[in-house]
Every structure is written in structure tokens, then in C-alpha cells.
């Protein structure tokens, strides 16, 4: 029941939408497509669903040519960013509809629909119509309708994007439990959120400009991004990338910071590099081995965290602090940099070494 893509490509005029997509999706695992807006995630899903024609390559499902099947014959379900429900039908009516349409008799269809409604936590709302539900409840209806079909391929295109922060946090955990029940389906989930990818995915496919640029277990990709581009995509806020050099056992960052080469960079050849630091690995203060003065450019309070964007002699830097902290644009602050937390990339952006390796 595997879905196999071989060198899949889509070109529209002179624009390349997808290029060289080669991957095999197996049932029972949750594959997360992650990338910035316009990375090609939705286009790939639409091609799989038969809603977008590909111009190069091949697609097979269960060993058979999938491209020759018209859209209506492909046993796929797709959930979009916007909740798409039938406004004139109740919750039960929405969820039961695809079962009745496929010929399941009413008693069996109702039993299956109610079971799925239970799983998404909407049993007390079966007689309500979508307009009487919250945004999160409406999206649960759409998810239930997609899951109840027991489709061969389940496609979820950023289904939490338009929900508020707290609701997204709640539904991420619920969805992980729901999707693990689809053992016979190929499940593909698209997101721009690193936290979502780490929580939901069994395997992560990082997409950029229509290509898959790295894949693997989410935690492994997060800890060992193979390039600056992947490091930027899988970190939120993006990793701070700064010019650096190594010379005779000394690591220099910009023209302001110098320290002995940390253990994980031992043996690195002398030369020019780039170093990356996660916002959570930097701190405001003078407590570390390396410190640099910076000027606050922007402060953003995100839930229980404060993000401080700073101009420094080493480059533009983002610091993440736990809790709510008061900083103002123009403030001069000291930033602690830990060389032990440095990711090292060559000048082309390829990963040379990561902390912990």
C-alpha cells in the first residue's frame, strides 16, 4: 500500500513548481511536509490527490501507476487550512455523508460516523450545524469526515493554520492520537511550524523551492540540519547565522568574539565558516564565556516567551527568554554566546558540525 514518487516534477510555463521529488510513503506512519510558504507542500499534495497534473516523473500506489487514475477514483481524503463543511448539514450529517455516498447502509454508516465523532470530542454537538460551532470544532468536523472514509491516502494541508495559539496547542496532541489510528493509510501532514512537526511527525520532509532538501526522523533533522536553509526552516524563530573563522585553535565570530575551539569542533580545519545559534541558546547578560554588546531592534512577547531581535557587531541576532521581559528598541544589552552550542556551516551553507556530535 506504499505511495511511491519517482523524480516527480511540475512546471507551469517557465516556473518550476516541483522538481525531482523522489520518496516512498508507507502506511501507518505520519509524514510531515515542512517548509516556508510557497515551498511546494500544497502542490505536492494536490498532485497526489490528482488535482494538479505533474509534467515529469512517475507516481505509483501499491505498485500500480497512480497517475492514470482520475481524481474521483483515487481513494484519498484531503483537509485544507480553511474548514470546509456543508453548512446546511449537522455534525452527524457532515461526517456520515461520504459513507452514505460510497454505498454504506445507514445503520453501519451512522455507527461509524458516531464512533469518529466521539474520537474528535464532538459527541455532544452531533445535532449542531457548522455555523453554531467554534473554529476548532469546525476543523474537527472536517477531520472526522476525512478520517471516517478510511481512505488509502490522507492529506492534511496546514489544518491548524487559521486557529488561535492555544487551540493549535490542544489539537496538535489530539491529532497525533487520531492519526496513529490510521494504520492502513498513508498520512501526509503539511505545516510551517517546527513544534507541530516535532510533535506530530514520524518522519519529516523539509521542502524548499519545490524540492525535498532533507528528510528523516524529526528530532534528528532538528539536531542535525544538513544546511543553513534547513536550520532556518526547522527553528522558530530562525537560527541566527553569523560569520566566523577558525585559526590555530581559536574560534572567532565576526570581529567581536573569540574563544578556544569547543570540543565538538575539535579538528576542524582553519578557515572561514558560518556559525548558527538557536535563539534559546543565547541569553541576555554577562554570564557566559563569550559576550557581545547589542542594540535592541524589536521585542516580541509570544505567550510565555520574549523574543528580542538585536543588531550586534557580529550580525543580526535573535534571543529567546523564558517569561515576559521588558526591553525597548534602542536599549543596549549584553548577549551571552555559548560556543558549545554553535552549529558550524561552510560558506556554501553545508553543515560541518553540530553540538553533541
Per-residue pLDDT tens, the chain, 357 aa: give them.
799 999 999 998 888 999 999 999 999 899 999 999 899 999 999 999 999 999 999 999 988 899 888 888 888 988 887 778 999 999 999 999 999 988 999 999 999 999 989 888 899 999 999 999 988 888 889 888 988 888 899 999 988 776 666 667 777 777 777 776 666 789 999 999 898 898 888 999 999 999 999 999 999 999 999 999 999 999 999 999 999 999 999 999 887 788 899 999 998 999 999 999 999 999 998 766 678 889 999 999 877 899 999 999 888 999 999 988 888 999 999 898 889 999 999 999 999 999 976
Q: How far apart are the first and last CA of the chain?
A: 37
Q: How far is it, in rounded angstroms, from Cα 81 to Cα 343?
A: 34
What is the CATH T-level fold of the domain 240-351, as seen in this structure?
A: OB fold (Dihydrolipoamide Acetyltransferase, E2P) (2.40.50)
Architecture of domain 3-229: 3-Layer(aba) Sandwich (3.40)
Under a CB-based contact definition with an 8 Å cutoff, are residues 264 and 320 in contact? no
Collapse the DSSP code of 116 into the 3-class scheme (helix H, G, I; strand E, B; otherwise coil) and give the result: helix
Provide DSSP, 242-286: EEEEEETTEEEETTTEEEEPPGGGTTPPSEEEEEEE-GGG-EESS
Could you tell me which of 353, 334, 357, 310 has the C-alpha nearest to residue 257?
334
Give the residue extent of every domain in the chain: 3-229, 240-351
Under a CB-based contact definition with an 8 Å cutoff, are residues 138 and 144 in contact? no
Element (H, E) at 93: helix 91-101
| Maximal C-alpha separation, the chain | 77
Q: How many CB atoms are located within 10 Å of the residue 108 CB? A: 10
Amino acid at each position: 500500500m506504499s505511495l511511491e514518487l519517482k523524480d516527480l516534477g511540475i512546471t507551469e510555463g517557465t516556473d518550476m513548481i516541483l522538481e525531482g521529488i523522489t520518496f516512498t510513503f508507507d502506511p501507518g506512519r505520519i509524514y510531515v511536509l515542512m517548509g516556508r510558504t510557497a515551498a511546494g507542500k500544497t502542490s505536492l499534495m494536490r498532485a497526489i490527490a490528482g488535482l494538479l497534473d505533474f509534467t515529469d516523473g512517475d507516481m505509483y500506489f501499491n505498485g500500480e501507476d497512480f497517475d492514470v487514475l482520475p481524481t474521483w477514483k483515487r481513494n484519498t481524503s484531503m483537509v485544507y487550512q480553511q474548514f470546509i463543511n456543508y453548512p446546511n448539514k449537522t455534525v452527524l450529517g457532515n461526517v456520515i455523508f461520504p459513507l452514505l455516498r460510497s454505498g454504506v447502509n445507514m445503520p453501519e454508516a451512522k455507527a461509524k460516523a458516531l464512533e469518529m465523532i466521539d474520537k474528535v470530542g464532538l459527541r455532544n454537538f452531533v445535532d449542531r450545524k457548522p455555523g453554531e460551532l467554534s473554529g476548532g470544532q469546525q476543523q474537527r468536523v472536517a477531520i472526522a469526515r476525512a478520517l471516517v472514509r478510511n481512505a488509502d491516502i490522507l492529506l492534511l494541508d496546514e489544518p491548524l493554520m487559521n486557529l488561535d495559539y492555544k487551540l493549535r496547542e490542544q489539537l496538535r496532541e489530539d491529532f497525533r492520537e487520531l492519526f496513529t489510528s490510521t494504520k492502513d493509510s498513508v498520512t501526509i501532514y503539511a505545516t510551517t511550524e517546527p513544534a507541530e512537526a516535532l510533535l506530530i511527525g514520524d518522519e519529516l520532509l523539509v521542502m524548499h523551492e519545490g524540492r525535498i532538501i532533507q528528510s528523516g526522523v524529526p528530532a534528528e533533522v532538528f539536531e542535525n540540519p544538513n544546511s543553513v536553509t534547513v536550520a532556518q526552516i526547522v527553528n522558530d524563530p530562525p537560527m541566527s547565522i553569523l560569520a566566523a573563522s577558525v585559526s590555530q585553535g581559536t574560534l572567532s565570530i565576526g570581529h567581536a568574539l573569540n574563544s578556544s575551539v569547543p570540543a565538538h569542533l575539535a579538528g576542524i580545519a582553519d578557515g572561514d565558516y558560518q556559525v548558527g545559534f538557536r535563539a534559546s541558546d543565547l541569553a541576555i547578560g554577562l554570564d557566559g564565556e563569550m559576550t557581545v554588546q547589542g542594540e535592541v531592534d524589536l521585542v516580541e512577547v509570544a505567550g510565555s516567551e520574549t523574543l528580542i531581535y538585536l543588531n550586534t557587531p557580529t550580525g543580526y541576532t535573535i534571543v529567546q527568554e523564558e517569561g515576559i521581559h521588558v526591553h525597548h528598541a534602542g536599549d543596549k544589552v549584553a548577549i551571552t554566546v555559548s560556543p558549545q552550542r554553535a552549529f558550524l556551516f561552510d560558506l556554501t551553507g553545508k553543515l560541518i558540525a553540530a553540538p553533541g556530535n
